[in-house]
Structure 1
Amino acid sequence: MISRKYGRTYHYPFSPGTTSDDRINYNSQEAISRIETLVHTEKLDGENNCLNRYGVFARSHATPTQTPWTRHLRERWEIINYDLGDLEVFGENLYAVHSIAYSRLEAYFYVFAIREGDQWLSWEEVQFYAHLLDFPTVPVLAIQSQPFDLAALETDVQKWATHPSTFGSYDAQTGESCTREGIVTRNANGFSVADHPQNVFKYVRKGHVKTDEHWTRNWQRARLIHEQPSGLR
């Protein structure tokens, strides 16, 4: 194993989009009460890809991926791999359309976390290195500091989840406008890999996934904003 997967992100107890394979952090309120500052970001509907000194990785971290929808990342990796050092850059790869299509995409890869050894870097460091590597970060919806009103926090997360994506979201199958996939909340400070479940939480809308295991046979490339018909921008 030359790369470790991104740790599983536990759902908020009030997240409606859980499946039988998902895990729920029923102690999220207690965990959040110990966090100084929270960063709430949009959960984008793409593939979790990792770039490190050894290559570009997808679901399996046993070997670098060679899928056609990661070719653009592998080309970027050829340019930046010597600059990565011990950093492992994780982001949403939106090159292939999944359940949600976006009408205002300006890039295909949005960084949401960076790992260095056994430590997840702070959000400030994530933004710094992403900028250095010329990658955008996922959209930030809000930053909140202690003291938290936990009831209000739940209301806020649910409210943000009812809005369209920052990049303009529509159902890839029907073409109808839709809400964003969900929300990811993380500790703004850095934390150890072992403590990931107590520092990152997600809210996913109900019935989000509409693709099956065969989607890769007929996958389509997402259009960037300058390629969209004027009515969709």
Structure 2
Amino acid sequence: MNTQRKYGRTWHYPFSPGTTSDDRINADYWQDIQAISTLVHTEKLDGENNCLNRYGVFARSHAAPTESAWTHNIRQRWQLLKHDLGDLELFGENMYAVHSIEYHRLEQDFYLFAVRCKDMWLSQEEVKFYAALFDFPCVPEIIIDPPGNNESAWRQRFLAQTDSPGAFAPFDVHTGTPCTMEGIVSRNADAFPVDAFAHNVFKYVRKNHVKTTQHWKRHWRRARMMWEFQPGEKA
């Protein structure tokens, strides 16, 4: 297995307002979606993309197993399951550290969103199966009607969901006020080849979302779980 294969770059929907100069946009998203029988939408969480495979726990770059302080918990979990992973690679949002959003209703600090096995991304049902097998929660799903044949109407239904706070009560760390979810990730519910990633996974990121820079690591803080907040407390 090639341990250097990081998670593929997810291309933006063309109506995603939170793009930057180095982001890629899938202008042909509608054509791709029409070829997908079932599309699954999940909440994009503001955490760190971590991969667990039999070689270790990796951050986004996959250059070497991570040893950061905020991955201590998930590295302990990995010690318990590393011999059972085989060719599986588990990808999830590590929520242990606060980034640009502080969530007031987190119940866990790691949420699974994808599983890769050799040259295939496994189906959503298989992701849920392995999440249950290894005792991980999955990122929250968002219900959006199937695309159908009317692109404009479906886009409006999609955009109507983006103003939601999502599942975990997000607060902007800079203003201390409630905010909307970071975005939505859509994927083909079926399994698909690694090389076809760009045609099967799409994302929407909210406008003016503050992307966390490397500087956050100098003064990072642990994300509190929902039971650690006092009633009415602001971030």
TM-score (norm 1): 0.96
Counterpart amino acid of residue 110 in structure 1: Y
* 4+ residue runs over 3 A deviation: 143-149
Distance 2:144 2:18 in 1: 23
Q: Is the 8 A contact 2:147 2:154 kept in 1?
A: no
Matches within 5 A, 1:200-211: 200-209=201-210, 211=212
Instruction: Report the equivalent of 2:45.
Output: 44
Q: CA deviation at 1:154?
A: 1.2
Q: CA deviation at 1:158?
A: 1.3
- Cα root mean square deviation, aligned: 1.5
Matches within 5 A, 1:82-97: 82-97=83-98
Matches within 5 A, 1:64-143: 64-142=65-143
Superposed CA deviations along residues 68-89 of structure 1, whole A, max 9, x for unmatched, are: 0000000000001111111000
Counterpart amino acid of residue 216 in structure 2: W
Counterpart amino acid of residue 206 in structure 1: K
Secondary structure, aligned partner of 2:25: coil
Matches within 5 A, 1:157-176: 157-176=158-177
Q: Is the 8 A contact 1:9 1:197 kept in 2?
A: yes
Secondary structure, aligned partner of 1:214: helix
Instruction: Report the equivalent of 2:194.
Output: 193
> 1:52 and 1:30, CA in 2 relative to 1: closer, same or farther beyond 3 A?
same
Secondary structure, aligned partner of 2:160: helix
Q: CA deviation at 1:159?
A: 1.4
Query: Given the alignment of the two structures, is residue 57 of structure 1 paired with residue 74 of structure 2, yes or no?
Result: no
Query: Given the alignment of the two structures, is residue 228 of structure 1 paired with residue 207 of structure 2, yes or no?
Result: no
Q: Which deviates more from structure 2 when the two are superposed, residues 102-111 or residues 156-165?
A: 156-165
Distance 2:131 2:46 in 1: 19
Counterpart amino acid of residue 39 in structure 2: L
The answer for unaligned runs of 5 or more in structure 1 is none
Distance 2:144 2:88 in 1: 25
Q: Is the 8 A contact 2:58 2:65 kept in 1?
A: yes
Q: CA deviation at 1:143?
A: 5.9
Counterpart amino acid of residue 71 in structure 1: H
The answer for unaligned runs of 5 or more in structure 2 is none
Instruction: Report the equivalent of 1:155.
Output: 156
Aligned residues: 233
Superposed CA deviations along residues 139-178 of structure 1, whole A, max 9, x for unmatched, are: 0002655635422321122111111121001101221000
TM-score (norm 2): 0.95
Q: Is the 8 A contact 1:37 1:144 kept in 2?
A: no
Distance 1:173 1:146 in 2: 36
